[in-house]
Amino acid sequence: MRKLSLRFYLHSRTQDISVWSGLLPTNLMASTVRILRIWLVYPPLGQLYRATLMELIQPLLHLHDLEQFNLYAEIWSDEDALVISQSWPAFLLKFSSSGQEASPTWRTMSHFAEHCPNLEQLVIPAIVDRRIDHTDLPVNRPHYRLRLLLLGYADVDCVRCFARYLIQLFPNLRTNGRPERHVRFPYHKECNWQFRQALQQASAKAAETGQASRDADGWE
């Protein structure tokens, strides 16, 4: 089984939802599953959620050879991204679909850069990070494998500053041309073009700076 698709209804009780984990052939899945898709179906307005994302995917964190993860969820966080990136380091593709209550910040980007060295494509519909000064964020080790980054929108105080940070973190991002030319799965149709233009400018500036530095050092 190469692909596994799961749909969870969050108005169910946690103990009822957890029963599914005992029904899965975990040993077989660990050696064969490469693509995981999860849909979270939220209860009607006014009803409480009875399970969290981490509670639901905990039985799947042993799938260390997972290459692609599609998450369709309205609520997830930096902490979720950290656990996912640490548990599934073999990612080539990562696609998250989120709603208004999702709250990933620059830390989500940092987690994937640190823990998923093979990551090539990252699609995140939203980054919500208005309280952070992105001009002074640490980049301990740049991630050179990522080629494609799509954001639905970036709710940040300075789009240009955030774009410069991401180019430092992911120096080899493809920023020219329309993004769908580089995507091997359906791309996020609400790509933030203002942010993409900021990425293009930041990438061009970094290239100019790098060339000027090489010229000053006498490199060819």
Residue 48 lies in a domain: no
- Residue 167: pLDDT band by 50, 70, 90 thresholds? very high
C-alpha dihedral sign at 152, 158, 164, 170: negative
Which of 175, 182, 159, 162 minimizes the C-alpha distance to 207? Answer: 175
- Using the predicted structure, report yes or no on whether residue 184 has a pLDDT greater than 50: no
- Confidence bin at 54 (pLDDT 50/70/90): confident
- Domain count along the chain: 1
The span from the CA of 172 to the CA of 129, in Å, is: 23
- Could you write out the DSSP letters of every residue in 11-71? TS-HHHHGGGGGGS-HHHHHHH--EEEEEEEPPPTTPPP---HHHHHGGGTT-TT--EEEE
Say what the pTM is: 0.80
Tell me whether residue 31 is in a domain: no
Quickly count: other Cβ atoms within 10 Å of residue 21's Cβ: 13
Q: Is the pLDDT confidence value at 141 over 50?
A: yes
74 lies in a domain? yes
Tokens, residue 110: 């940092």
Would 113 be classed as within a structural domain? Answer: yes
What confidence tier does 133 reach under pLDDT thresholds 50, 70, 90?
Answer: confident
115 assigned to some structural domain: yes
Banded pLDDT at 26 (limits 50, 70, 90): low
* Tokens 């990551």 -> residue: 119
Q: Per-residue pLDDT averaged across 45-65, rounded?
A: 73
Q: Decide if pLDDT at 161 tops 50.
A: yes
Q: How confident is the model at residue 219 (pLDDT cuts 50, 70, 90)?
A: very low
Q: Is the pLDDT of residue 213 over 70?
A: no
Residue 216: inside a domain: yes
Question: Is the residue at 41 inside a domain?
Answer: no
Instruction: Give the H or E element holding residue 168.
Output: helix 159-169
Contact indicator for 173, 166 with CB cutoff of 8 Å: yes
Residue 15 predicted with pLDDT over 50: no
Q: Find the domain containing 153 and state its range.
A: 67-220
- Residue 4 pairs in a beta bridge with 36
Residue 199 located in a structural domain: yes
